[in-house]
Structure 1
């Protein structure tokens, strides 16, 4: 089934509208895109600032096994973002994936993902909201952000969205055919290297250590200074 695109000049939140349509029974493979988004949301209740000319898109999925899909979805989306951004660059750029699904350009965040799920047993849905700085990075105090325009000619957000859905299809097909291990390896090849010093922030608490890979559920493995390795399920990752 082909993706169905609904493109709006202005929306408050593409994910909010996509969720409304999901609850109303809209079939999957719906892409809701806004050329300007006024109330974008990030993870942990943060706002996503959209200065215009960037990507604001939400994708609707209705998987048969939502729990299994939700485990793989952050990594599938991250890989699709990485490959799409790279495809618009005339030469290889310094893209990097940060656990679980942030896309960095030259060590600065260029794109992020918010995954939400809901519905009843007969209408379970997953909405994947994606924001990417294509034309310009917003000015957010205390944060270092990047835009694709630093390394590529001007990119049409609609064309980027179309290319992104094609990449999502490709990685989902690979996952369906070969399982999560293929996705895990592909993500690791594009991510911060094993041994990279990092900190996990949870509120005002920080746990420092070094990146030791991903386990079979996609949890980040953090090697602590004392030699113990622990799995990380949630938290903000600060690369050192």
Structure 2
């Protein structure tokens, strides 16, 4: 019989190390932090708002997948950004966010890597998910950057079978308040790479475990509404798209679901 997990402490707003100019608000529960931040952005909120919830009850991942975990077991938050870069470089924002999360946790879990475009993995187990949404506001376009990191879930509490948490990987208790400060600091500090996508591309490629792998790319189309194309993931191009090689040539994937078929040799 599995024993019940120990009580999880709440986030301590007084100890959150927010980057300069960023404002962190902690809520006990909300359906979606992305929805809250998007509403605030449309009402004129400035860049730097961070909304964190102890329990997200209707979170969404990429492709509208449900992402929900027990209260106080995760870091679930959204950040409002207004990137001052050309529109074509906004495609790098999801990849940058994944890279920032990976960099913030790498000292605890050296094997941590990224699956294109922004899933954070330990081997093939998902540790964190990211959803970036571009919205129009009265003062111009804004990005709502949503992040969900599994922190203390047990195997029974994980949202999907092939997932993991920081505490499962390290066997150590994690202070979520301190971890939140680390992740926010990483995202804040790396924002400048949006203006230097060549450097961002090199840094991202270095920690992306998708490259060199055989992958199945799920795209809209086909008789069942989904077309699956298999090939080898060769590179990330200068817009952040994945370049895949097949027997019929290469193609690029700007948006789609990518599944790793075999482990890297």
TM-score if structure 2 supplies the norm length?
Answer: 0.82
Distance 1:114 1:194, change over 3 A: closer
Matched residues in 2 for 1:219 and 1:25: separation? 31
1:197-218 Cα offsets, whole Å, 9 max, x none, are 1110125321000110111111
Matched residues in 2 for 1:154 and 1:68: separation? 41
Matched residues in 2 for 1:180 and 1:140: separation? 33
Matched residues in 2 for 1:18 and 1:231: separation? 32
Matched residues in 2 for 1:183 and 1:231: separation? 19
Matched residues in 1 for 2:192 and 2:255: separation? 27
Distance 1:167 1:125, change over 3 A: same
Matched residues in 2 for 1:86 and 1:189: separation? 13
TM-score if structure 1 supplies the norm length?
Answer: 0.90
**Pairing 1:19–2:38 present:** yes
Secondary structure (helix, strand or coil) at the match of 1:28 reads coil
Secondary structure (helix, strand or coil) at the match of 2:140 reads coil
Distance 1:100 1:155, change over 3 A: same
CA positional deviation for 1:161: 2.0
Correspondence 1:128-207 to 2 at 5 A: 128-136=145-153, 138-140=157-159, 143-152=161-170, 153-176=172-195, 179-192=196-209, 194-202=211-219, 203-207=225-229
Contact 2:69-2:159 at 8 Å conserved across structures: no
Which residue is equivalent to 1:34?
A: 53
**Pairing 1:231–2:241 present:** no
Contact 1:18-1:60 at 8 Å conserved across structures: yes
Distance 1:64 1:121, change over 3 A: farther
**Pairing 1:208–2:220 present:** no
Secondary structure (helix, strand or coil) at the match of 1:124 reads strand
Contact 1:201-1:207 at 8 Å conserved across structures: yes
Count the aligned residue pairs.
233
Which residue is equivalent to 1:8?
A: 27
Matched residues in 2 for 1:120 and 1:173: separation? 23
CA positional deviation for 1:165: 1.4
Contact 1:175-1:182 at 8 Å conserved across structures: no
Contact 1:63-1:69 at 8 Å conserved across structures: no
Unaligned residue ranges in structure 1 (runs of 5+): none
Contact 1:199-1:239 at 8 Å conserved across structures: yes
Correspondence 1:48-63 to 2 at 5 A: 48-52=67-71, 53-63=73-83
Greater CA radius of gyration, 1 or 2?
2
